[in-house]
Structures are given as structure tokens and as C-alpha cells.
A and B are shown apart, each in its own frame.
Chain A
């Protein structure tokens, strides 16, 4: 027994230096946050210590900036703790706009705008002044918003083989969609067991995150709403003209048995299972939901399970003015900032400036020319995709904190084409094009909205308790009137008034 204890003691003592030492703070000039987005291959090192972080460090040393990478998990808690305890790296970022606005409003961030003229001329030149305003609060540049190349959001998809079996055309508006859903229900073209048949399988939901709606049915909703900017300035969805009709439409479809009975309670995995097993006729989901480039692809597994089954993208949510509107993502994924405690905000700006230089941006996106790719007719050509992935792909996205450099559609499409593994007969391209067509974004408020901060959580809780009820319970009008009354009681009108004042002053971005 004593020998065992002694052996353990020796083992622990000798291995202690490997794990017992901590990081020493205050040695590096610029600490940069880095998030591990993919497994780092065994021969490449760690997310914060690999040939590519060394490349960055060498390049930055030429600017007299000593970079140290600080790996941070993607957890919201971790970010909040770092900010609350003044331990965040000099260049950090968050994906959440609300969190960024809170950090800024609480006085936790540097004004980077002061340093851009001297240290960051590439930033406005590449990203554009309009884009940079996404990182401003009350006119102060608290963050540099990254750039998102693909801002498409959601798409609608219908079973083409079911329509063909019924002799129906692809629907082009809500009325035709409703007719198709009824035909799916009544005629069961897929010959699935009656209890399993789901004319409208599911639509994306994300409870408790925003006030406006749990259901990401923006495209359907906008087909009901009045788009007169003056009439709707600052208004919230529940009181816009047409919103009541939108909810009633969903309510009626559900009561008719056209929408999956468990739409609000089934997990993502269960909903996907229904689609893959071929029991669903129509879905409204993220535009790329069906088209993963690996064996998890929903479209491929559906085709394997049900011979001839095929979803095709459709535009069915036509507005009263004949336009098929879609909400798109903000053109940013994250907000890069320098915490107030940092002594080197200008170095953070210089770092981001370097990342946006033409040569650097190319290297961080595609690797080194002659190593990870060659150039043919001005386009990068990747010979061995596995080698590319093993020597560079694992870290590229982690390093490019300012997102996608605007290389232009020719290069972007050429690269995308080379990484296409699965062939979806062009449906994925059509889905992307549809999701982008006539897309727009809601106004972005670049100021701290005090009424929303005060009343927002209460409104979210009220809304949470009504979204599903409005669709599933029979007495729609009474429910909806009560819903609006309770929202008004909790300060919805104050929020609208504040938004209106803001938009009248600053206009719609």
C-alpha cells in the first residue's frame, strides 16, 4: 500500500511542472483572443501555438507588436467573467450584439475610432463606413464588426416528388402552398402511414432570445405586413398591420391539421428525423439545412431512405405588392473590441489593419500560394483538399476574426465550387439565390435603448407564453387581444416611442 502511495507521489511531483505552471500576465504587448473552431491536427500543435500563429507573430513583430494568443472557449459565461474581472485579452470579441452593446454601455470598451486614422486605414477602406457603423454606439466606434460574406438566412422547401405524383405545379404564393398542403394531407402522395404524415413539418424556432418572435418565420410574416416605412417606423411586429392576419393564418393551418402537431415541442433531432424519413411535405428552415457537405446531409439521407424523394427550394411568401421579401442576417458575425483595461488599443487596431491588407487577407483565407494553393487565371486552385485542411484549414477561420475579405464573387464562387463534395443538382445554389433575392434587414439601433433594456425581458416572458397558444388554442381572437393588452401593460408603447424618436433622428441604417 505504502509503495503504491509513494509511486503516485513520485508521479505527481514529477509531472507537476507540466500542469502546475500558470500564465504570467503583463508580458505580452498585445494579447489576442482565439477560439478553437476545429480540431488542430496532431503535427500542427495547439490552437494558440502552431505554424500559423507563429506566422502572425513574425509578421506583427515587424510592426513592433508582440502578439500572444489567448485561447478562449466560445462560452458566453467565460466572456462575461473575463470582462467583469478585467482579464479579457487586449483584442477580444463577442458574437452577440446585445452583449457587445452592454459592454460598451457599461464603459468597458475603448473607443477604437480614435486610433483608426493613424493605425487602421485599411479598416474603413475594406469594410466601408456604413459597415463600421454596426460597431458604433451613439457615434463612438467601440468595436470593429467582422464581415459576413453570405448573409442569407432562411428558405422554404417542398417535396417535388409529391407534387409530381399529384400533378401539381410548384406553388408560388400562400394560396397555392395551402392548396398543396391540403393535397398532401388528403391524398398522401408519399404513401406514408397516416399518423406519420406531416404536410408542413416544421419551421425554425429559437425561444426566449428576442422579443419579436420565437418562430423564425420572417419570410412568411413579411408577406402579411405593410411595408410602408413611414407607417411602421419603430413599430414592433405584434402591432404592425398584418401581424394579426399572419398569426391567424398559422392558427388556421394548424387547426386544419396541416402543421405538425408537435411543432413547438419536438427537438431539432426529431424534426430532422421526420424529414429524413420522408414523412414531411414542406419545411421553412435555414437555407443550407438540407445541404451539408458530409454524411450528415439531410438531403442525401432522405434520398437514401426514400427513392426519388427530393426537396426543392420554393418562393411562396409573396407580399401584397408582389415582392417576396426575406430577412437577412446583419452583415457581421462578431464584434471585435479592446477592453478598457487594455493599455494597447492602438496595437489592436494595427493588428486588425494588418489582417485587412490585400496580401495578408489572401494568405489568411487561402493559405500560402505554392503551398496550400496555386493561382490559375487569378483564381486560387486547391489540389489536395486534405492537405489544405491538415496544414491550414484547421486554423483559417479562427485567425480571420474580421471575417470574409471581399475578394469578389468570381473568386468566392470558384473556391466554393472546389470544396463542393456532394452534388445537390443545383438546389443548394437555387436555395441560396432565393434566400438572397429581395432580402433586407430590420433597422439597427446604434444607441442604448433604455426602454428595451428595462421592459424587454418582461415582454419576452409574456410573448413566450403566447406564441404557441395563439396557434394551437381554438379561441384565437380572444387570445390575441389579451396578448396585445398584456404587452401594452408592460411598456411596449414606450419602446416603440423610443425607437421612433431614434429613427427620426438618425434615419434607417
Chain B
């Protein structure tokens, strides 16, 4: 049976136009870079590339895919994203669960301490020295542990947990379940929307890691994709071997830059539609319930 819909109002029309414009504003730069990545160097330099490739070629992508450094960065970034997101979500859930309980002793003080970190941080040098003192420099943990819990995400998850009827946990407790069992067998299975949402937040954060990698990582095997991209675009680290006074192989520099940007961005773009359903649901539920 078809549902009855109200006729569209002027606000609906305005909203549709505005959101379409915003969507186009987001989409056009992406399409432009995509077109650049497939275009010839001459067309790029001449500014002839808009949203459609000019002088179609694949040398930019061939160069990027042939790059051992880029491939190492891809492998490491995938690893970092999986490991980091798993740790983030797990620790955030472990933190949110007790905080969602109204009878937790010292709950208010703990909350204040956690919220404090949302507004104040130790600063770059002190945090670096802590990471160094813990022996984390040049390890994957330097990119995970300092930001294990994002306070905002903890608030979202705690708010979601608070909305789950306490009677469910209570009946499990009466059946002899431990707190950990209640969390893992009852709370977590009921919280897939918020977990998927936070996994996306954390995952995208790890995928985009640049500054922490710049500061904490020296080993080239542990460079993230974003760090490699920055090297390519702003530091001018060349692709393909360079020689003393010129390049032995003619590398289309601008095309390679655009191809590298797409190479780094595409995985997130591909993954997002699969998580979008959970993402919207989780973000809304988490933000509305208290």
C-alpha cells in the first residue's frame, strides 16, 4: 500500500536546491582531480582539463602502482586502520559501558576528567616526549595509543548505551552473567549502529593519519599513505628515479600527483556506501538520546 505524502513545500524545494548545490560543490573537485589523473601533462599545464580527461593516458596510475613506496604505505595504512579501529572501538566501548551506568561511584568526577581532555591537551612537545618515554616512537602504537579514545565518540557511545533498557542487563545479571559478558553478549549486539558509526569515524581518522605519522614515524616502511602523498605533492619527492641534472625517465608530474590523490582517496569512497546505512542510523540515535 502506497504511503500518503504531503505535497512539497517551498522549504522542501529550497532545501533540495541547496543540498544539490552542496553535493555538486563536493563532487566537482573530485571529478576534476579524477579527470586530471587521466589527462596528458600538456593538457593539465594548459588548464584545458575540466571534468572530462583531455589527452587520455594512464601513465600517472602506472607510475603510482609501480611505486614500491606507495604500495608499502598502502599495506601499512590498511594494517593501521584495521588494528587502530579495532582498538579504538573496543576501548571506547569498555569506557562507555560503566559510564552509562547511573550508579557508578565517582561518575561525575570521571566524566569531568574525560571532558577536560576534550578542551585541553598537553601540547606537541610534551606528548612527543611521553610517546618517546614509552618507547612507542617508530611503532604503529604511536599512531594508535595517544588517540585511543576520542572524547566525542565516547559521549556518543555512552549516550547510546544509556538508551538500552537497564532491565535487559539486570535479567542477565540475575542469570549470573558477569559485567563483561553483559557487555559482549547483550549490549554490543544491540549497538551495531553506533559501533559501525564509530568504526567509520575512527577508520577514516586512521586512514587519513598524517601529522602523527610525520612526527612519530621515521621508518619508511611505516609511512602512511597521507605522508607519502604529502611528500609527493609538497616536498617534491619524485616518482621514478631521478638523476643529477634531470630525469632519465619522463614522468608526468602533475598527472602523477592527481593519480596519487585518487589512489589514496578511493578506498574510503568505495567503503563508505557499505557503511552509510549504519552510519546515519547510529549518528542520529546517538545524538538524540540521553
Q: A81-B128, A394-B241 are in contact. Are A73 and B214 (CB under 8 A)?
A: yes
- The contact of B46 among A48, A75, A277, by CB within 8 Å, is A277
- The contact of B139 among A19, A41, A416, by CB within 8 Å, is A19
Q: A39-B241, A40-B69, A41-B241 are in contact. Are A296 and B252 (CB under 8 A)?
A: yes
Q: A22-B136, A421-B246 are in contact. Are A298 and B45 (CB under 8 A)?
A: yes
1/0 per residue, CB under 8 A from A, across B201-216: the answer is 0000000000000110
Residues from chain B with Cβ under 8 Å of A66 in the complex:
none
CB interface residues, B 227-273, toward A, < 8 Å: 227, 230-231, 235, 237-254
Nearest-Cβ distance from residue B127 to partner chain A, whole angstroms: 10
| Cross-chain contact A20 with B45 (CB below 8 angstroms) | no
Q: Which residue of B lies closest to A394 (CB)?
A: B241
Nearest-Cβ distance from residue B37 to partner chain A, whole angstroms: 15
Check A263 for interface membership: any CB of B closer than 8 A: no
| Cross-chain contact B137 with A41 (CB below 8 angstroms) | no
Check B68 for interface membership: any CB of A closer than 8 A: yes
Nearest-Cβ distance from residue B237 to partner chain A, whole angstroms: 6
Check B218 for interface membership: any CB of A closer than 8 A: yes
| Cross-chain contact B45 with A81 (CB below 8 angstroms) | no
Q: A22-B139, A386-B248, A389-B242 are in contact. Are A304 and B215 (CB under 8 A)?
A: no
Check B112 for interface membership: any CB of A closer than 8 A: no
Q: A19-B76, A23-B218, A296-B253 are in contact. Are A39 and B46 (CB under 8 A)?
A: no
Check A15 for interface membership: any CB of B closer than 8 A: yes
CB interface residues, B 131-175, toward A, < 8 Å: 132, 135-142
A279 to B70, CA, bound (A): 38
| Cross-chain contact B215 with A78 (CB below 8 angstroms) | yes
| Cross-chain contact A77 with B46 (CB below 8 angstroms) | no
Residues from chain A with Cβ under 8 Å of B132 in the complex:
85, 87
Residues from chain B with Cβ under 8 Å of A293 in the complex:
245-247
Nearest-Cβ distance from residue B3 to partner chain A, whole angstroms: 34
| Cross-chain contact B69 with A294 (CB below 8 angstroms) | no
- The contact of B250 among A272, A276, A421, by CB within 8 Å, is A421
- The contact of B42 among A8, A42, A304, by CB within 8 Å, is A304
Q: A39-B241, A393-B244 are in contact. Are A296 and B45 (CB under 8 A)?
A: yes
Nearest-Cβ distance from residue A404 to partner chain B, whole angstroms: 9
A346 to B175, CA, bound (A): 72
Check A437 for interface membership: any CB of B closer than 8 A: no
| Cross-chain contact A295 with B252 (CB below 8 angstroms) | yes
Residues from chain A with Cβ under 8 Å of B140 in the complex:
16, 19-20
Q: A38-B242, A46-B220 are in contact. Are A81 and B41 (CB under 8 A)?
A: no
| Cross-chain contact B124 with A81 (CB below 8 angstroms) | yes
Most buried by B among A301, A396, A420: A301
| Cross-chain contact A81 with B215 (CB below 8 angstroms) | yes
| Cross-chain contact B125 with A36 (CB below 8 angstroms) | no
Among the 9-residue stretches B24-32, B79-87, B95-103, B113-121, the one with 4 or more Cβ atoms under 8 Å from chain A is B79-87
- The contact of A85 among B82, B128, B220, by CB within 8 Å, is B128
Q: How large is the interface on A (under 10, 10 to 19, 20 to 34, 35 or more residues)?
A: 35 or more
Nearest-Cβ distance from residue B86 to partner chain A, whole angstroms: 7
Check A37 for interface membership: any CB of B closer than 8 A: yes
| Cross-chain contact B86 with A12 (CB below 8 angstroms) | yes
Residues from chain A with Cβ under 8 Å of B125 in the complex:
81, 84-85
A77 to B125, CA, bound (A): 11
| Cross-chain contact B240 with A39 (CB below 8 angstroms) | yes
A38 to B241, CA, bound (A): 6
Check B7 for interface membership: any CB of A closer than 8 A: no
| Cross-chain contact B243 with A393 (CB below 8 angstroms) | yes
A271 to B11, CA, bound (A): 43
Most buried by B among A294, A386, A420: A294
| Cross-chain contact A296 with B231 (CB below 8 angstroms) | no
Check A415 for interface membership: any CB of B closer than 8 A: yes
A351 to B170, CA, bound (A): 70
Residues from chain A with Cβ under 8 Å of B69 in the complex:
39-40
A305 to B42, CA, bound (A): 9
Residues from chain A with Cβ under 8 Å of B235 in the complex:
73-75
1/0 per residue, CB under 8 A from B, across A76-90: the answer is 011001001101000
| Cross-chain contact A46 with B221 (CB below 8 angstroms) | yes
| Cross-chain contact A36 with B237 (CB below 8 angstroms) | yes
Residues from chain B with Cβ under 8 Å of A270 in the complex:
47
1/0 per residue, CB under 8 A from A, across B35-61: the answer is 000000110011100000000000000
Q: Give the interface of B toward A (CB within 8 A).
A: 41-42, 45-47, 67-69, 76, 79-80, 82-83, 86, 124-125, 128-129, 132, 135-142, 214-215, 218-222, 227, 230-231, 235, 237-254
A-B residue pairs in contact (CB < 8 Å), sample of 29: A8-B86, A22-B137, A36-B237, A37-B238, A38-B242, A39-B238, A40-B69, A48-B220, A71-B220, A75-B214, A81-B125, A85-B128, A85-B129, A87-B132, A269-B47, A273-B45, A276-B46, A277-B46, A294-B253, A298-B45, A301-B41, A366-B244, A385-B248, A386-B241, A389-B240, A389-B241, A393-B244, A419-B246, A419-B248
Query: 3 tightest A-B contacts by CB?
Result: A293-B246, A389-B241, A393-B243
New contact pairs (16) apart from A71-B219, A386-B248, A389-B247, CB-CB < 8 Å: A12-B79, A19-B79, A21-B139, A36-B231, A39-B238, A41-B68, A48-B220, A71-B220, A74-B235, A75-B235, A87-B132, A273-B45, A294-B247, A294-B251, A305-B46, A419-B244
